A and B are shown apart, each in its own frame.
Chain A
Amino acid sequence: ETGVTQSPTHLIKTRGQQVTLRCSSQSGHNTVSWYQQALGQGPQFIFQYYREEENGRGNFPPRFSGLQFPNYSSELNVNALELDDSALYLCASGRETQYFGPGTRLLVL
Chain B
Amino acid sequence: SQQGEEDPQALSIQEGENATMNCSYKTSINNLQWYRQNSGRGLVHLILIRSNEREKHSGRLRVTLDTSKKSSSLLITASRAADTASYFCATVIPGAGSYQLTFGKGTKLSVIP
**Which residues on A are within 8 Å of B, measured CB to CB?**
2, 4, 31, 33, 35, 37, 40-45, 48, 50, 55-56, 58-59, 88, 90, 92, 94-103, 105
Across the interface, name the chain A residue whose C-beta is closest to B48: A97
Contact flags (1/0) for B38-50 with A, using CB distance below 8 Å?
0011111100100
Contact flags (1/0) for B5-42 with A, using CB distance below 8 Å?
00000000000000000000000000101010000111
CA gap between A43 and B40 in the complex, in Å = 11
Contact B45 A98 (CB under 8 A): yes
Across the interface, name the chain A residue whose C-beta is closest to B5: A42
Q: Contact partner of B103 among A42, A50, A101, CB < 8 A?
A: A42
Chain B nearest CB from A14 CB (Å) reads: 23
**Which residues on B are within 8 Å of A, measured CB to CB?**
1-2, 4, 31, 33, 35, 40-45, 48, 88, 90, 92, 96-106
Known: A41-B105, A97-B45; 16 extra A-B contacts, CB below 8 A, are A33-B99, A33-B100, A33-B101, A35-B103, A42-B106, A43-B88, A44-B103, A48-B98, A55-B97, A56-B96, A59-B1, A88-B40, A97-B33, A100-B35, A100-B43, A103-B41
CA gap between A41 and B41 in the complex, in Å = 13
What is the total of A-B residue contacts with beta carbons within 8 Å?
72
- CB contacts (< 8 Å) of A4 on chain B: these are 42
Chain A nearest CB from B33 CB (Å) reads: 7
Contact B98 A55 (CB under 8 A): yes
Complex A-B: 15 CB contacts under 8 Å:
A41-B105, A42-B2, A42-B88, A43-B88, A45-B101, A56-B98, A58-B100, A59-B1, A98-B45, A99-B45, A100-B42, A100-B44, A102-B42, A103-B40, A103-B42
Contact B43 A45 (CB under 8 A): no
